[in-house]
């Protein structure tokens, strides 16, 4: 499964956030403690955003590839309205293979985040 790497990175980032939280826990209240806790929170939010974005790209790419292999397959309207790069559609299959759909999906999320998706 292609999400194994994304899950590994997610777990590493959550581990870092947990370690920061544990580091700040015994500290006296103050600006430094607050900054460390804020950094832990933002690292956890970033980890979630990255993982869910990768999962969304995986879902989109697999759906596009399935539709390319089985054109009669019905897909939801939301998928029909995606804007993907032209090269993914008209590119030579022998050059891009199944990866063309993955790259198209990655471009969809490159400038997005989970909240906007």
| 44-77 pLDDT, tens digit each | 999 998 898 888 888 888 888 888 889 999 988 8
Structure tokens at 78: 């939301």
* pLDDT tens by residue, 9-26: 999 999 999 999 999 999
- State pLDDT tens for residues 105-114: 877 777 666 6
Q: Specify the pLDDT at position 65.
A: 84
Query: What domain count does the chain have?
Result: 1
Q: What gap in Å lies between CA 47 and CA 71, rounded to an integer? A: 35
Look at residue 77 and tell me if it is in a domain.
Answer: yes
Residue 116, domain member (yes or no): no
Domain boundaries, position 95: 3-110
- DSSP structure string for the chain: -THHHHHHHHHHHHHHHHHHHHHHTTSPSSHHHHHHHHHHHHHHHHHHHHHHHHHHHHHHHHHHHHHHH-TT----HHHHT----HHHHHS-HHHHTTHHHHHHHHHHHHT--TTT-
Residue 83: inside a domain:
yes
pTM for the model stands at: 0.73
Say how far apart CA 58 and CA 101 lie, in whole Å: 9
User: What integer is the mean pLDDT of 87-92?
Assistant: 70
Residue 117 in any domain: the answer is no
Neighbours of 57 (CB within 10 A): 25
Tokens matching residue 88: 């993914």
Is the residue at 68 inside a domain? yes
């Amino acid at each position: 499964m292609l999400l194994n790497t994304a899950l590994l990175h997610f777990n590493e980032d959550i581990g870092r956030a947990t370690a920061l939280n544990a580091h700040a826990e015994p500290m006296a209240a103050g600006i430094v403690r607050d900054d460390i806790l804020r950094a832990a929170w933002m690292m956890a939010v970033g980890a979630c955003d990255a993982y869910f974005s990768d999962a969304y790209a995986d879902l989109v790419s697999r759906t596009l590839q399935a539709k390319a292999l089985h054109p009669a397959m019905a897909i939801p309207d939301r998928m029909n309205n995606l804007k993907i790069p032209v090269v993914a559609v008209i590119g030579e299959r022998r050059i891009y293979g199944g990866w063309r759909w993955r790259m198209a999906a990655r471009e969809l999320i490159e400038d997005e985040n989970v909240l906007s998706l």
